[in-house]
Structures are given as structure tokens and as C-alpha cells.
A = this chain, B = another copy of it.
Amino acid sequence: MSLVVSKTSSGREYKVRDLSQADFGRLEIELAEVEMPGLMSCRSEFGPSQPFKGARITGSLHMTIQTAVLIETLTALGAEVRWCSCNIFSTQDHAAAAIARDSASVFAWKGETLEEYWWCTEKALDWGPGGGPDLIVDDGGDATLLIHEGVKAEEEFEKSGKLPDPSSTDNAEFRIVLGLIKEGLLVDPKRYRKMKERLVGVSEETTTGVKRLYQMQVNGTLLFPAINVNDSVTKSKFDNLYGCRHSLPDGLMRATDVMIAGKVAVVCGYGDVGKGCAAALKQAGARVVVTEIDPICALQALMEGIPVLTLEDVVSEADIFVTTTGNKDIIMVHHMRKMKNNAIVCNIGHFDNEIDMHGLETYPGVKRITIKPQTDRWVFPETNSGIIVLAEGRLMNLGCATGHPSFVMSCSFTNQVIAQLELWKERASGKYEKKVYVLPKHLDEKVAALHLGKLGAKLTKLTPAQAAYISIPVDGPYKPPNYRY
């Protein structure tokens, strides 16, 4: 990669699409601030004491307007920040421009190639000779993965002299990762180990990244402490659910302008994300069908009046397909071939392997017609009938629209700030081992509380007698840890 890093007048590095969009970005950031009371409240509560003074934070998380408010909350608390996006289509270029100009090093633009994507990730981790970041804000775990793979490769190289071999893998993206590490190794064979040494910990945003972390914990390979932000109630039961309820129809409308009412829509997976998607589609007048592996989630769908069938049962009758599973190989090319003309196929799960894009791209004689960026019609030669694939199978709400709205992201990101504060405060105390932690209930409740005033809500206060009767403190936490909400 021969990409050129730019510098602001103050010497801060960046690479964005177009710095001249910074003013536009700034206006939208200011609007978003009004919608993000949790983050703004962190600024007023913690700003004066500058708790992140001296901390270097690297973020790998969709570089949107909302993320911009997160970044500027981190810098308002004293941090230095470098940032990249965690998806090739999710950057809002005006947001990236405003941050690059005003606040932090950004390496992100809408429509990166996979090579560019990993170049950006590496740049966000690259704090120069003194090693890497102190803290990572991760979403999906790619920054964390790069360090873990880097350390593994360095150790192997030190032991056996063997360099990572990109050709050893079928996975196109992982090949790029290995190539990147290989290059790096030749320059500095201790680079990722130095990073690991400095790193205090990571806070991870999403289900997929969390799954990776727990696997590493189980395998004993986790290199630093991690806080699982996803499983804060105020994250997974809000962002995943209400965020997707908002942004799925937004993505569908911006990409295709299709009328949702009257259509048959299949939602693969009925977890928090699937529940949000199904609710949105149902409310818009679609007939929704859910596919599920888990009988409990399936029974929940049924109780909401949603039939649970297999993809095979409905593949040739449905108009819209959405994958939300966090698993792979959900909609395969053999499914797509049986779909109706102009059926819409999209994914709102973190990774792009839910839809068999490889199978589609390599289908003999298939024709791709790009309607507009992130909206492609793929025509099969036998039937001359096409399907419409959004965002090349990647997160359609970020690829085709602007992702989740500010208010719900304020919940998620306030958890992030609190997690980062906690990791940094306890950096020397040994409180956090190389394990995965969730935030304590009272912080979770605090995040919610910070968002009530904006919506005009008034809480009822327990009397001491009532608190005693149900054996909880008057000021909470109000629920046992396993409470499901």
C-alpha cells in the first residue's frame, strides 16, 4: 500500500476523503451532541479532572457523526486519540473530516478496499516508536485481532524464523492481515509485543467481538483485560434492538425506496438485532417470517405473531431478506437463485459472511449492475431475474444509511467511556486480569439515568421501607445480575 498520510497544521496525522467537508461534519456533530446526553454529561462530570491525561486511545469503530461525539468526549477528558473505522462502508466522510481537522488522528473513508481498511487499522494502532496505544475501543475486534495475530507471528518468527504465509489461507481478508503482519515483522520484529506490553486493556462494542474475546479467554490466549460493553443492558438491549429498529428501514429506504408495506420479509435470527429488525418491518406493514435455531427465541417470535420457518420454506416467496445472526453462511447463492425477481438481500450483522457474496460473485454468468454505490442488482443468466444486494453484504444500515441514531448510540458510547475510564483508573491496581469483564449493574443503571431527562421522564423513588421489603438499596442497583429486562 502506498497511501499517503496527511498532516494538519498542528502536525496531526490523518487520511480522510475530503477535509473540506469538516464544516458540514461539525454542524452535524453539534446537532448530535444535543441528542447524546450521556456523553455530554461525561464531559461535564469528568472533564474538569482530565482523567485521561496522558492516555493514548486507539479506536476501531464506525467513523460516524455519533462516533465523533464519542471521540471528542475522550479528548475532552484528556486523551490523545487515533481512530479508524471497523467497516469499509461505514465511515461518514464529513464526520471523519471534522474530527481529523479538529480533534484526533483519523484514518477512514467510505468505500475502502480491504487492503486500505487494514492499512487504516494499522495506522490507528501506530503511535510511533514509543509503542502502541494505552487503551483500545474496539468494535468487532479487528484491532484486538491484529495485535493478537501480530504477537503470535512475532513469537513464531522468533522461535522458528518462520514468517506468516498469506497464501496459507483461503480467506481473502485474513490473507491481507497476514501480509500486513509479515511486512511489519521485517521492519520491527517486536512491534506487536511492544504494543501488548503497553496496552492496559480493550473495551469491546459488539456481540461478534465479544464472542471472539470469550473464545480467547477460554483458550487462555487473551493478552490483556477486556471489558465487554456489548452486554451492558444499556447497550445490547438498546443499541442492538432499538438502533436496528430505526436503521434497518432507513437503510432499506435509502438504498431501494421500496415500499415495505405488503411485502414478505424474512429476518434470519431473532436475537436483539433480529427483534429490532422484525419489529420495524412488521410495523411498516410487512408480513415478517423469522428463521431461528434457538427454540426460545423462536417461541418469542411466535408470541409476537411472527411465524418461524426455515429459509427454504419461504425463499421463493419473500421480497426482503435480512441476516442478523452473527453466524456465517446464512443465505447462500443456491438460495439467491430461487428468489423472486428484485428480491432484496441484506445483512445487518457485524461481519459480511452471513451472505454468500463469494458464491454470488463467482456464479457462472452472473451479471452485476450497480444501481448506485452500495446497491447492486445481480442477474442470474438462467432466469434473467435479478436480486438486489445491499452494501455488498456488509452492515446495510451503515453502508446504505448512517447507522444508528445519536440518542441510542449515546447509551452505548457512555458505556464505552465508563469502561475506558475504569480500565485506565485501575491500570496499576491489578483489579483487571487478562479476562473479559462486564460493567457493574450500578454503572449500567447510571447510563440509563443520564438519558431520561432528555425524554422528560420522572423516576419514582423507593422509600426505605419499600427498599427493605425487596432487599435492595434505595438507590439501586435495582435488579439481580441475571435479570433479563
Task: Give residues in A with beta carbon < 8 Å to B.
Answer: 24, 27-28, 31-32, 34-35, 65, 211, 214-215, 218, 231, 233-234, 236-238, 242, 245-246, 249-250, 253-254, 256-264, 272, 282-288, 291-300, 302-311, 313, 317, 326-329, 341-342, 369, 371-372, 377, 388, 401-402, 404-408, 411, 444-446, 448-449, 451-452, 454-463, 465-466, 469-471, 476, 478-482, 484-485
CB-CB under 8 A from A31, the residues of chain B are 256, 342, 371, 377, 388
Option from B254, B298, B455, B466 in Cβ contact (under 8 Å) with A459: B298
The answer for the CA separation of A237 and B303 in the assembled complex, in Å, is 11
Decide: A28 and B371 in contact? CB cutoff 8 A.
yes
Q: What is the CA–CA distance of A54 and B287 in the complex, to the nearest angstrom?
A: 44
Q: Across the interface, do B293 and A459 meet the contact criterion of CB distance under 8 Å? A: yes
Docked-complex contact B262 and A485, CB < 8 angstroms: no
Are the CB atoms of B299 and A287 closer together than 8 Å? Answer: no
Q: Please, how many angstroms separate the alpha-carbon atoms of A309 and B306 in the complex?
A: 17
Do B457 and A27 touch across chains, with their CB atoms under 8 A apart?
Answer: no
With both chains docked as a complex, state the minimum distance between the C-beta of A269 and any C-beta of chain B, in angstroms: 9
**A302 to B262, Cβ gap below 8 A?**
yes
- Decide if A457 touches B298 in the complex (CB within 8 Å): yes
Chain B residue at minimal CB-CB distance from A369: B27
The residue from B245, B293, B405 contacting A258, defined by CB atoms under 8 A apart? B405
Contact, CB under 8 Å: B293 / A471: no
Question: What are 10 A-B contacts defined by CB distance under 8 Å?
Answer: A214-B480, A246-B253, A261-B302, A282-B305, A293-B460, A294-B479, A309-B457, A309-B458, A317-B456, A329-B466
A481 to chain B: closest residue by CB = B482
Contact among B237, B245, B294, B459 with A295 in the assembled complex (CB-CB below 8 Å): B459
Query: With A250-B253, A406-B259 known to touch, is A452 a contact of B295 (CB < 8 Å)?
Result: yes
* Besides the known contacts A253-B401, A327-B469, A327-B470, 18 further A-B residue pairs in the complex with CB atoms under 8 A apart: A24-B372, A31-B371, A31-B377, A211-B471, A214-B480, A236-B484, A242-B261, A246-B259, A249-B249, A250-B254, A282-B305, A283-B284, A286-B305, A291-B460, A293-B478, A295-B449, A296-B448, A299-B448
CB-CB under 8 A from A341, the residues of chain B are: 34
**Given A211-B471, A293-B460, A452-B308, A259-B302 contact (CB < 8 Å):** no
Q: Report Cα–Cα, A260/B459, bound state, in Å.
A: 22
Complex contacts, A288 vs chain B, CB 8 Å: 305
Q: Report the bound CA distance from A309 to B264 in whole Å.
A: 14
Determine which residue in A299, A302, A369 has the highest number of CB atoms from chain B within 10 A of its CB, and name it.
Answer: A299
Copies in the complex: 4
Question: Is A215's CB under 8 angstroms from B471's CB?
Answer: yes
Contact A466 B327 (CB under 8 A): yes
Contact status A406-B462, CB under 8 Å: no
Check if A452 sits within 8 Å of B299, measured CB to CB: yes
CB A324 to nearest CB in B, in angstroms, measures 13
In the complex, what's the smallest C-beta–C-beta distance from A255 to chain B, in angstroms?
11
A285 contact set on B, CB distance < 8 A: 242, 245, 302-305
Are B485 and A246 touching (Cβ within 8 A)?
A: no
CB pair A459–B24 under 8 Å, yes or no, is no
Residues in B with CB closer than 8 Å to A462 are 293, 327
Bound CA span A461–B476, Å: 41
The answer to whether A445 touches B328 (Cβ under 8 A) is no
Least CB distance, A78 to chain B, in whole angstroms: 28
- Determine how close the nearest CB of chain B comes to the CB of A347; give it in whole angstroms: 15
Asked whether, in the complex, the Cβ of A308 is within 8 Å of the Cβ of B27, the reply is no
State how many angstroms separate the Cβ of A412 from the closest Cβ of chain B: 12
Min CB–CB distance A149 → chain B (angstroms): 18
The answer to whether A476 and B245 touch across the interface, beta carbons within 8 angstroms, is: no
| Chain B residue nearest to A301 in the complex (CB) | B457
| B310 contacts A460, C-beta separation under 8 Å | yes
Q: Which of A31, A264, A294, A481 has the most CB of B within 10 A?
A: A294
A300 near B465: Cβ-Cβ < 8 Å: no
CB distance from A36 to the nearest CB of B (A): 10
A246 to B249, CA, bound (A): 9
Residue of B nearest to A329 (CB): B466
Residues of B within 8 A of A371 (CB): 24, 27-28, 31
Q: Are A448 and B65 in contact (CB under 8 A)?
A: no
Provided the pairs A295-B448, A329-B465, A444-B296 are in contact, do residues A246 and B261 lie with their beta carbons within 8 angstroms?
yes
List 3 tightest A-B contacts by C-beta distance, closest first. A259-B405, A283-B283, A295-B448
Q: Out of B237, B307, B408, B476, which one reaches A456, CB within 8 Å?
A: B307
Question: Is there an interface contact between A485 and B300, defined as CB atoms closer than 8 Å?
Answer: yes
> In whole Å, how far is A285's beta carbon from the nearest beta carbon of chain B?
5
